[in-house]
Amino acid sequence: MACTAELATQDSHDRIKRRDMSNTITLLSEHREIEQSVCDAKVVAVRWDLVPWGLVIDIDVPLSEAENAPLHRAWIVFDGMNEINWNFNNSRLPDGIWLTSNALVKQQTNGGLKFTIATLLPKFSENEPLPDTGEDFGLSITAKNILVFRSDKSISPGKYGLTRQQRLSLADDTCLLDTVTRCL
């Protein structure tokens, strides 16, 4: 699919207008915007192959905390990532991974940024109650830069969330990657 995009500055956001779908992708780069933009998101994919020396977490983010709230598609981009800590011990990944709070973005002494957030990872235990191990199931990533690219359009989820086709209608991979490439 061909993607035509225009980059324009509006307020504190950079907006990418996709002419082919009359849709916009908003770039969130301020720490406070990033921290608030990922709460209650479902992790759909973790991608190592999109940004050189970086990581992309593909998420579905609700508009609000209301049940069945419409969802945006977003990419959290960690440019120049140099450390990741995410404990998956005994987790049932097919059941989903959720970012359950506002994130925290802190400036590091070396000039990088540290992104931390609480996560919900269902744990595996055969025929036994899930044990409380006291382990930290948060996500912590240190990178040179952290950006969030979020679709302005949203869709109400079905019984099992968004289908791949619905996610692509919010923001397709080609246009998201083109937008990320223009901004890095």
- How many domains does the chain contain in total? 1
pLDDT at 9 over 90: no
Cα–Cα distance between 114 and 105 in angstroms, integer?
6
Burial group, residue 165, by CB count within 10 angstroms (0-12, 13-18, 19+): exposed
Please state the pTM of the whole predicted model: 0.82
Q: Which of 44-53, 96-105, 118-127, 144-153 has the highest mean pLDDT?
A: 144-153
Q: Give me the domain span that covers residue 93.
A: 5-183
C-alpha dist (Å) from residue 41 to 23, 62, 89, 96, 112: 21, 7, 21, 10, 24
pLDDT at 178 over 70: yes
What is the biggest distance separating any 2 CA atoms in the chain, rounded to whole angstroms? 55
**In this structure, what are the phi and psi dihedrals at residue 147, rounded to the nearest 5 degrees?**
-135, 150
